[in-house]
Amino acid sequence: MAGVFFIDGIKRSLRRRAREKKLATAKNWPTAQGEVNHWQVLNADEDVATTGTPYQIEAGFHFKVNGEYYGGYLRSVAMTHHEAETKSKGEPKVNVRYNPANPDETAVLAEDNSGNLPFKVVSG
């Protein structure tokens, strides 16, 4: 069993590095304002979940660039089920970073959305 935990640790490390690299690149991408159009409460990702906060909100959004619609998803920080159910309502605006060469590639940064969403987001 020890080998499985070792491999899982390597996988988590590789995912974290890839995510950090994408976020560093995304900081230079242009920003568009999108709108949340779908909510879902999910079990939190293992890297953000705690015993007291085992849920996350996943929100689907859309935005326009040059008259074309694009979309993506964002995730909240971990929270309780009640908090997630309460905060996953409405159609708030979200600031989205997009790759100008491929607007389907998006990133939602926590620092770009500190006041416009009813919850904090996990950058990604």
Tens digit of each residue's pLDDT (9 = 90 or more) over 96-120: 999 999 999 999 999 999 889 999 9
The domain of 51 spans: 2-122
Tens digit of each residue's pLDDT (9 = 90 or more) over 42-93: 999 888 888 999 999 999 999 999 999 999 999 999 999 999 999 999 999 9
Q: pTM for this one? A: 0.83
Check if the beta carbon of residue 118 is closer than 8 Å to that of residue 54. no
The predicted pLDDT at position 46 comes to 83
Domain count, the chain: 1
The predicted pLDDT at position 14 comes to 79
